[in-house]
Homo-oligomer: A and B are copies of this chain.
Amino acid sequence: MSLPALLNHLKQSAALGQVAGLLSWDQETVMPKRGAEQRAEQSGTLAAVIHARDADPRIPDWIADIDRTSLTPFDRRNIDEAQRAYDRATKIPSRLAEESAKAASEGQRIWAAARAAKDFSQFAPALKRNIELKREEASCLADPGTDHYDALLDQFEPGAKAAELLPLLEELRPALVALREKIAGKPEPEPLAGHFPAADQLTLADTVAARLGYDFEAGRIDTVVHPFCSGSAGDVRITTRTDEADPLNCLYSTVHEVGHALYAQGAADPFLPAGDYCSMGVHESQSRFWENQIGRSRAFADWLYPAMDDAFGGLNLDGPDALYAAVNRVKTGFIRTEADEVHYNLHILLRFELERDMMAGNLEVDDLEETWNTRFARDFGLTVPDAGLGVLQDVHWSLGLFGYFPTYSLGNIYSACLDRAMLADLPDREAMVRAAETQPILDWLRDRIHAKGRVLPAPQMIEQATGEAPTATPLIDYLEAKFTALYDL
């Protein structure tokens, strides 16, 4: 009876994890301002309860007692994930966990002030503290003789190794730099311009979300400053934002979060770890696939142009071709979150390289800003004017999130792999996208990704889904083909 006991324990922990997710959603969307202090106490207490459950001393006994020979791969994975959470919860001393949580909370506050002042030196001490704590955490978790960075990466991308990611990600750089340089000499397409009322943008966002298969009976859309997706299975909530000068912000934020939400609504099992999402990289592959391969395709512009023309009572662009060019406008800029498909992964590569060097002790925090600026000039051909547009732009390091950035690029790589395989399987996909009748596309992803949960490690699952081990080639080919045609290179 050890397996049922373990699974029941995991199920209840997952339920409490969902409650923790709801507390965050509530905090970002509807919580009254003065509720913040109580919320911190509520979230902290719940986190401690979940931590104690992950570290429950019965877990190793249950696991030792289970005969693994006759188990399904699903349950074997549940056991492995229970062990992984147990190790994490027991190897990190509670003193360290508390200090890390405190340093993250303080780090974010200090970072926000430093960014507003565009002054890296204000943030440097907090960053040093976070790195110190994360190094200690990694040394608690890492097996002897392994790369300590992998212990951090593993939280977001289970089983991933930096040594394997590095060639995969670095392969992108020369291709992207070459593409960027070629496009730089070409005329810019006409941008979308005008005034786009927020209410109309939100109505369009609802329409697009519903067309792409987002189930409003298992979700809702609210408005926030930084959009996100939260929840699983029957309760998956997304958020978006509006800028009345730029309806593409709301539109593509929404499509991106819908991509995450479709994965979460299709969760194999919302209460067991083997039924959870496979990895952050795979999660991002789903959001980026719907955002870019579908949402920024020429075929979708055929549906989108009349929909937007209707939603806003006319557009300054004169047809789907012009809209397609506008939504794929390439322009070198400083900010990752505003980057187009050509530049986006160059931003990630920079961060991945820098955080690897910092964690390994090959780059000191005091040299970070200068190194950032030097490498930015190398990859982007631009001089960073201030830290706000440079090293201080992202929240991640202030929260102690090291090992997170590479999952964004993995997502782009995986989405291109899936795109290539899907096109071979669904030869009439373009017609589906043109009509925004995308159910077969969603079914394909449900079948090959969503229903698979976390049973296989991400690279194997992608290989099983596509017939090929994932490489950067499909992404490079996709970007070169798309932008060569768009910019007449």
Chain A contact residues, CB within 8 Å of chain B = 11-12, 15-16, 18-19, 22-23, 26, 30-39, 41-42, 44-46, 48-49, 215-220, 231-237, 270-271
Contact = CB atoms under 8 A, between A and B. Distances in A.
A95 to B, nearest CB: 17
A167 to B, nearest CB: 41
Nearest to A50: B49
A37 to B, nearest CB: 6
B234 A41 contact: no
Contact of A36 (B16, B37, B49, B234): B234
A272 B16 CA distance: 23
B36 A15 contact: no
B42 A15 contact: yes
A179 to B, nearest CB: 41
B220 A38 contact: no
A45 to B, nearest CB: 4
Contacts of A37: 234
A35 B218 contact: yes
26 contacts: A15-B38, A15-B45, A16-B42, A16-B45, A18-B42, A19-B42, A19-B45, A22-B42, A30-B220, A32-B235, A32-B236, A32-B237, A33-B217, A33-B218, A34-B217, A34-B234, A35-B231, A35-B234, A36-B234, A37-B234, A38-B232, A38-B233, A38-B235, A39-B235, A41-B271, A49-B49
A359 B313 CA distance: 67
Nearest to A265: B34
Contacts of A237: 32
Given A15-B45, A48-B12, A218-B32, A270 B235 contact: no
A410 to B, nearest CB: 29
A46 B75 CA distance: 25
Given A16-B42, A34-B218, 13 more contacts: A15-B42, A18-B38, A18-B42, A19-B23, A26-B26, A32-B216, A32-B217, A32-B234, A32-B235, A34-B217, A35-B231, A36-B234, A41-B271
A215 B34 contact: yes
A31 B237 CA distance: 9
A188 to B, nearest CB: 42
B41 A11 contact: yes
A46 B19 contact: yes
Contacts of A271: 38, 41
A123 to B, nearest CB: 30
A231 B39 CA distance: 11
A232 B49 CA distance: 22
Nearest to A19: B42
A391 B228 CA distance: 48
A226 to B, nearest CB: 20
A442 to B, nearest CB: 17
Contacts of A218: 32-35
Contacts of A38: 15, 18, 232-235, 270-271
Contacts of A232: 38
Nearest to A46: B19
Nearest to A216: B32
Contacts of A22: 22-23, 26, 42
Contacts of A32: 216-220, 234-237
A202 B241 CA distance: 25
Contacts of A30: 30, 220
A235 B34 contact: yes
A271 B22 CA distance: 21
A159 B253 CA distance: 55
Nearest to A36: B234
Contacts of A46: 15-16, 19
A271 to B, nearest CB: 7
Interface centre among A49, A231, A270, by most B CB within 10 Å?
A49
A130 to B, nearest CB: 26
Nearest to A235: B35
Nearest to A49: B49
A256 to B, nearest CB: 20
Contacts of A215: 34
Nearest to A232: B38
Interface centre among A36, A217, A234, by most B CB within 10 Å?
A234
Interface centre among A18, A19, A232, by most B CB within 10 Å?
A19
A29 to B, nearest CB: 9
Contacts of A26: 22, 26
A237 B11 CA distance: 30
A156 B235 CA distance: 33
